[in-house]
Each structure stands twice: as C-alpha cells, then as structure tokens.
Chains A and B, each alone.
Chain A
Amino acid sequence: MKKEIFAALLLALLLSLSVVNTHVIDSLCNQLSQGVASAGQAAQRGDWEGSVQALRETMSWWEERETYARIVLRHTDIETLTDDFYELAEHIYTRDAGAVKSAVELVTEHLRGIAQMEAINLGSIF
C-alpha cells in the first residue's frame, strides 16, 4: 500500500509542479513583455533615457530569474531571448526608433511562443 500511496503522491506532485511552472513561466513572459513594451514606448516618445532605464530594469529582472528558466526551458530559447534583448538594447543606444519597434515586436513574439509552448493545452501537447 505504501508504494501505491507514494506513486499517487508523486503523480499529484508532478502535476502540481507542472501547473505551478506553467503559471510561473506565463507570468515571467508577461512581465518581460511589459518591461520591453515600456522600453519601446519610451523610445517612441523620444525618451531615450527612460527607454534605457526600462530595458535595464527588465534585463536585470530577467537575469535574476535566468537560473530557474535554464532549469525548465530549452537553453536555445533562453539564448535566443537574450540575443533579442541585446539587439533591442543596441537599437535603443543608437536611437533608431523604427528598429526599436521591430525589435520589441520580435522579443514579445518570442516570449509569447515560450509561454504557449509551456501552457498545457491541446496545441502544445499534440
């Protein structure tokens, strides 16, 4: 009986951790998207200092959570995302508003893809 209880608890634990992880990744992606979007909006207003500040905060927030992300996400996704961030930073520093807009869209799209891949739904399972 002990083994059965252990197995049932293990299944329940794995399911709970999976659900929690899905929410964590979803909120992480949302938070990053918002940070990137505010950096982009500041750039569109011509507030380049504000844009740099917003991006810096977003990137440092991301770096704090990178270890967790490396445990649960494919490393190629993380590396692509980091590259996208650096590309966005480059456009902000060179004050190219058009390139900033498309870089923000690229990062947002990538984050949406990561969140979708981790979400438990028919599309991601099959």
Chain B
Amino acid sequence: MGVSFVRTVIVFFLLIGSIRIMGKRQLGELEPLELVVAVLISNLASQPLQDTGTPLIYGIVPVLTLLACQLLISALSVRSPDFRRVVSGKPSILIDNGVIVQSEMKKCRLSVDELYVELRINGVTDISQVRHAILETDGTLSVLPYAKFSPATPEELNISAPDGGLPVSVINEGRVMRENLDLLGKTEKWLMGEIRKRGASSPKEVYTMTVDSQGRIYYAMKEGKR
C-alpha cells in the first residue's frame, strides 16, 4: 500500500516531466497533467479488475493518489502562472507577423510539412495569409489570419444580425421535454399546434424539435413517419 502510494507519486511526476520534454506534439489536445492522469488512471484501475488475486486497494490507492496530486497541481497552476509554465509549458509562436519562426519550429520539433497540415486543418491553404500561428500548451494550433483575409463580420458589413439565443430542445426522440417548455414559457397546447402545422399528429412522431428565444423552430420527423 505504502509502496503503491510512493510509486504513484514518483511515476506521476516522472511522466509529467517526460511529456514536457517530449514537447507539445505528443499531447493530442490534452494538457500534460490531463494526459498523464488519463493514461495512468485507466491502467491502474484495470489491473485489480483483471486479476482477482490483486487486492482492490492496489488500484484504489494509486487512483486516489493521482486524484489528490492532480487537484493540488491544477490548483497551484491557477494560483501561480510560473508554476503553470513549469507544468504545462507556454504557447509557442510559430508564425509571427507572417514570418515562420524557425527557431521555435525547431524547439517544438515541428517540420514545415506538419505546420502546413495544421494550417490546412484550420482552413488555411496559403501561409502568406497567416499573421500569427500559435502552438498552444495542449498541442493545438491557433491560427490568426491578417485582417484582410479574415471573414467579414456582420458589424464590418453594416448588417444587422439578431442573436438567435440558445435553442432549447422541446421534443427529444418523441419525448416532450416539459421543463424546457416551461423555460420557454410555452404550453403543450402550443407544442401540439406547432407539430400539427408540420404534419405530425403526436410528439411520438417527432425525432427532434428545438426552439430558440426568438421563437425560431428546428423540426425533424422520425424516419418513416413522413
């Protein structure tokens, strides 16, 4: 039990250190701390489940140890930016004012081809359109194009675009969501009227129906009911 506890603490910090050294490319959209906990917890929990000769405490102690370490480190990260930098690293600017920062690319062990792939994933095919590209601490690439290549906003085009608000589900796979109807200030009578207008005789025939705060309705009938 004691050995499991100490081993878990050692392996936890060793893995965080290793992943930090490996760089952001290994992360796959998880912070180093999250990745270590995710990788370790699943393995630790499965061992006593597979081998009934291993006491459950051999899984419980490391999982609780990881939980406590994770809570402590994430709390310290929130309080101290310096500590956060040690645990999670800092974002790397790969393209600065349109110029690829080769030293940073080298530091992140990222090839130009891989940078192009990441840019294409972000919808950018022409690198000259990018003002800044930042490799975040979780390994994702944030791409900020030059203003002239950014999509125009309704404000820039002087168009009024009313906010639709959050659409709320009122029918979910044939079930009426009464709480959501109350939230919208609508009644079942209103709902029945709306679905009849759209050709259904009962909510059971409706796959999904959402209503936003402007009263706009999205409606889909179940297959075979049309």
- Interface segment, B26-34, B65-73, B85-93? B65-73
In the complex, chain A residues 70-88 whose Cβ is within 8 Å of any chain B Cβ:
70-76
Residue contact A74 to B6, C-beta cutoff 8 Å: no
Digit string of B158-190 for contact with A (CB within 8 Å is 1, else 0)? 000000000000000000000000000000000
Residue contact B3 to A7, C-beta cutoff 8 Å: no
User: Nearest Cβ in chain A — how far from B37, in angstroms?
Assistant: 13
In the complex, chain A residues 1-57 whose Cβ is within 8 Å of any chain B Cβ:
3-4, 6-8, 10-11, 14-15, 17-19, 21-22
**Complex Cα spacing A14 to B57, Å:** 11
Q: Which residues of B contact A7 (CB under 8 A)?
A: 67-72, 75
A117 close to B (CB within 8 Å): yes
Residue contact B54 to A75, C-beta cutoff 8 Å: yes
- Chain A residues within 8 Å of chain B by Cβ, number: 27
The A-B contact count (CB < 8 A) is 71
User: Nearest Cβ in chain A — how far from B48, in angstroms?
Assistant: 10
- With A7-B68, A14-B65 known as contacts, the answer to whether A21 contacts B2 (CB < 8 A) is yes
Q: Which residues of A contact B68 (CB under 8 A)?
A: 7-8, 10-11, 14
**Complex Cα spacing A9 to B18, Å:** 27
Q: Which residues of A contact B67 (CB under 8 A)?
A: 7, 10
A60 close to B (CB within 8 Å): no
**Complex Cα spacing A72 to B54, Å:** 9
Interface residues of A (CB under 8 A from B): 3-4, 6-8, 10-11, 14-15, 17-19, 21-22, 70-76, 117-120, 124-125
Known: A120-B6, A125-B7. 5 other contacts (CB 8 A): A71-B56, A72-B1, A74-B53, A118-B3, A124-B3
